[in-house]
């Protein structure tokens, strides 16, 4: 797992900002080391002068990778480009480190990756309560 944040990573995060599934998929690739400029799915928009990720193209580029890498990348592609997968098949065999990232990405996609507030009924009356993050991104 990568532990440094580069200008390239920050530019990718900025590109994805505002769409939770795209943010989650981008963060998955960054944290697992699959978002480098050398990757065939990482493109450069010359007009905006920034990188972006072509998630739809990921499945066509993963043939020579390990089974775990392929599963992980198909999950990222599914979040980033609506690429259909059978989640049960993709989760089986992921190592704990990547599974932890996938769990955080799912929580991020559902907007439960940070502490928040929810409404709870107490004696028939609604009240706001603070809730922790459902599953936060692992510390680098």
Inform me whether the pLDDT recorded for 3 exceeds 80. Answer: no
Q: What distance in Å separates the CA atoms of residue 106 and residue 122, rounded to the nearest whole number?
A: 29
Helix (H, G, I), strand (E, B) or coil at 25: helix
Q: What distance in Å separates the CA atoms of residue 1 and residue 30, rounded to the nearest whole number?
A: 9
Q: Per the domain annotation, does 122 fall within a domain? A: no
**Of 114 and 2, the one with more pLDDT:** 114
Can you give the residue range of the structural domain that contains 41? 7-111
> What integer pLDDT is reported at residue 4 of this predicted model?
54
- Span 73-114, pLDDT tens digits: 999 999 999 889 999 999 998 999 999 999 999 999 999 988
Structurally, how many domains does the chain consist of?
A: 1
Check: pTM over 0.85? Answer yes or no.
Answer: yes
Q: Per the domain annotation, does 53 fall within a domain? A: yes
Q: Per the domain annotation, does 56 fall within a domain? A: yes
Q: Per the domain annotation, does 120 fall within a domain? A: no
Phi and psi of 74, rounded to 5°?
A: -65, -35
Q: How confident is the model at residue 126 (pLDDT cuts 50, 70, 90)?
A: very high
Tokens representing 103 are: 């769990």
Q: Per the domain annotation, does 128 fall within a domain? A: no
Q: Per the domain annotation, does 59 fall within a domain? A: yes
Q: Per the domain annotation, does 61 fall within a domain? A: yes
Q: How far is CA 112 from CA 17, 74, 76, 108, in A?
A: 16, 22, 18, 6
- Span 53-75, pLDDT tens digits: 999 999 999 999 999 999 999 99
Q: Per the domain annotation, does 105 fall within a domain? A: yes
- Span 25-37, pLDDT tens digits: 999 999 999 999 9
Inform me whether the pLDDT recorded for 2 exceeds 50. Answer: no
């Amino acid at each position: 797992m990568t532990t440094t944040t580069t200008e390239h990573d920050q530019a990718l995060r900025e590109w994805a900002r505002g769409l939770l599934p795209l943010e989650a998929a981008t963060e998955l690739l960054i944290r697992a080391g699959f978002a480098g400029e050398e990757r065939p799915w990482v493109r450069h928009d010359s007009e905006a002068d920034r990188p972006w990720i072509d998630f739809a193209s990921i499945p066509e580029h993963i043939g020579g990778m390990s089974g775990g890498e392929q599963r992980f990348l198909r999950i990222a592609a599914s979040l980033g480009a609506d690429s259909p997968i059978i989640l049960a098949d993709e989760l089986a065999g992921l190592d704990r480190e990547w599974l932890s990232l996938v769990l955080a990405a799912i929580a991020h996609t559902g907007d439960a990756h940070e502490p928040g507030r929810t409404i709870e009924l107490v004696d028939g009356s609604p009240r706001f309560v603070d809730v922790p993050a459902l599953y936060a991104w692992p510390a680098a």
